[in-house]
């Protein structure tokens, strides 16, 4: 497979991973629109864990795509059309990521109906936003 083929494959894998991630958040939001009970919080934690691991996978996928593209450009193995395609796919990735962040922000700003769950919810949100691996 040539470099363009690898770039396209990694792009498609990244888009699939993004769609699966957004679907997971939307599925959670359809079941749990707020944190009312400890079970809602546990559901939130499960979803957040999956999202964190998917984010790591996304970094590997898109990082590999970026390295292949940059190496291809600098070594001359990517022609002009391949370079344009690589740049276009990166622009698409940027906008797709911004679209996915909208759902992340929604789920990290849920209404907490039980004040006893607020601190733990905030802790999970901080971990999700700041750390690579879940510690909850």
Q: What is the pLDDT of residues 74-122, one digit of tens each?
A: 999 999 999 999 999 999 999 999 999 999 999 999 999 999 999 999 9
Task: Look up the domain containing 21 and give its range.
Answer: 3-130
Q: Would residue 125 count as lying in a domain?
A: yes
In a domain, 26, yes or no: yes
The verdict on residue 32 lying in a domain is yes
Residue 135 resides in a domain: no
pLDDT tens digits for 43-75? 999 999 999 999 999 999 999 999 999 999 999
Q: Structurally, how many domains does the chain consist of?
A: 1
The neighbouring-strand residues paired with 56 are: none
Q: What is the Cα–Cα distance from 128 to 125, expressed in whole angstroms?
A: 5
* In-domain check, residue 44: yes
What was the pLDDT predicted at 101? 96
Any domain includes 136: no
pLDDT of residue 43: 97
Phi, psi of 34 (to 5 degrees): -155, 170
User: Is there a contact between 62 and 93 (Cβ–Cβ < 8 Å)?
Assistant: yes
Q: How confident is the model at residue 134 (pLDDT cuts 50, 70, 90)?
A: very high
């Amino acid at each position: 497979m040539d470099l363009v083929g690898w770039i396209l494959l990694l792009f498609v894998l990244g888009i699939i991973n993004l769609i699966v991630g957004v679907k997971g958040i939307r599925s959670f939001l359809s079941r749990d629109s707020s944190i009312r009970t400890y079970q809602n919080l546990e559901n939130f934690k499960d979803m957040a864990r999956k999202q964190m691991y998917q984010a790591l996978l996304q970094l590997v996928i898109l990082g590999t795509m970026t390295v292949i593209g940059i190496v291809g450009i600098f070594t001359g193995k990517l022609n002009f059309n391949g370079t344009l395609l690589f740049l276009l796919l990166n622009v698409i990735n940027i906008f797709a990521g911004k679209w996915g962040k909208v759902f992340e922000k929604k789920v990290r700003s849920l209404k907490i109906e039980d004040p006893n769950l607020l601190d733990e919810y905030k802790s999970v949100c901080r971990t999700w936003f700041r750390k690579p691996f879940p510690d909850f």
